[in-house]
Structure 1
Amino acid sequence: MEEVATIQLSGHGGRSKIVEKKQVLIQRASNSTFVQADKPIYMPGQLVRFRIVTLNSSFMPLNEEYPLVELKDPDSNRIGQWLNVKPERGIVQLSFQLAAEPSLGTYTIIVDGRQTYRTFRVEEYVLPKFKLVVTEPTQIFTSDAAFPLKVCGKYTYGKPVLGTVQVSLCRTAYTWYVDGMGSKPTDICQNVTGKVRREVGKGLTEV
Structure 2
Amino acid sequence: MTDKRCTKKDKQVMTDKKVYKEGQTGNDRQKEYKVGQTGNDRQKVYKEGQKVHIRGAVISSVTKPLDSNLDIIIKDPKGNKLAHYKGVTPNLGVVSTDFKLVNDPAYGEWTIFIMATNTPEITATETFKVEKYVLPKFSVDVTVPSFIKLYPGQNAGILTVDILAKYTYGKSVNGKAIVQVTSNSQHELLEKTLVNGQSSFSFTVTREHVSRWLNYQASVLVRVVEDVTAKVESAEKSVPMFMMPYKITFINDDGSFIYGMPRNIFVKVTDAAGGSIPSAERSALGVSVTFALSKNWVPNADLLPPLTLTMPDTGDVISAHVDIPTRLEMDNQTFSMMAELSYPSTTSQKNEKVTTETEYKYPIGTKTNHGISVGVVGVTNQKSSPTHLGERLSEQLYFPQAVLSRQEINDN
Tell me which of 207, 231, 234 is aligned to 1:115.
234
Amino acid at match of 1:82: L
Distance in structure 1 (CA, Å) of the matches to 2:145 and 2:357? 35
Amino acid at match of 1:76: S
Residues 1:8 and 2:127 aligned together: no
**RMSD in angstroms over aligned alpha carbons?**
4.2
1:12, distance to aligned residue in structure 2 (A): 2.9
Could you list the per-position Cα deviations for residues 63-112 of structure 1 after superposition, in whole angstroms to 9, with x for gaps in the alignment?
A: 3222x321111x1310x2212x1223321111112113322422111123
Equivalences for residues 57-136 of structure 1 within 5 A: 57-66=168-177, 68-73=178-183, 75-78=184-187, 80-83=188-191, 85-102=192-209, 103-104=212-213, 105-112=216-223, 113-125=232-244, 131-132=290-291, 134=304, 135-136=324-325
In the superposition, the TM-score normalised over structure 1's length comes to 0.59
Please say which structure displays the higher CA radius of gyration: 2
Distance in structure 2 (CA, Å) of the matches to 1:152 and 1:193? 22
Residue matched to 1:146: none
Distance in structure 2 (CA, Å) of the matches to 1:199 and 1:46? 44
Relative contact order higher in (CA < 8 Å, ≥ 6 apart): 1
* Cα pair 1:5 1:26 within 8 Å, conserved: no
Query: Identity percentage over the alignment?
Result: 10
Aligned length: 166
1:158, distance to aligned residue in structure 2 (A): 4.5
Task: Structure 2: state its 5+ residue gaps.
Answer: 1-105, 151-155, 224-231, 249-287, 293-303, 305-323, 329-333, 340-354, 361-375, 388-393, 405-412
In the superposition, the TM-score normalised over structure 2's length comes to 0.33
1:47, distance to aligned residue in structure 2 (A): 1.3
Distance in structure 1 (CA, Å) of the matches to 2:182 and 2:145? 17
* Cα pair 2:182 2:219 within 8 Å, conserved: yes
Distance 1:154 1:170, change over 3 A: closer
Residue matched to 1:33: 140
Residue matched to 1:167: 383
The structure with more helix, counted as a fraction of residues: 2
Distance in structure 2 (CA, Å) of the matches to 1:96 and 1:153? 41
Amino acid at match of 2:149: M
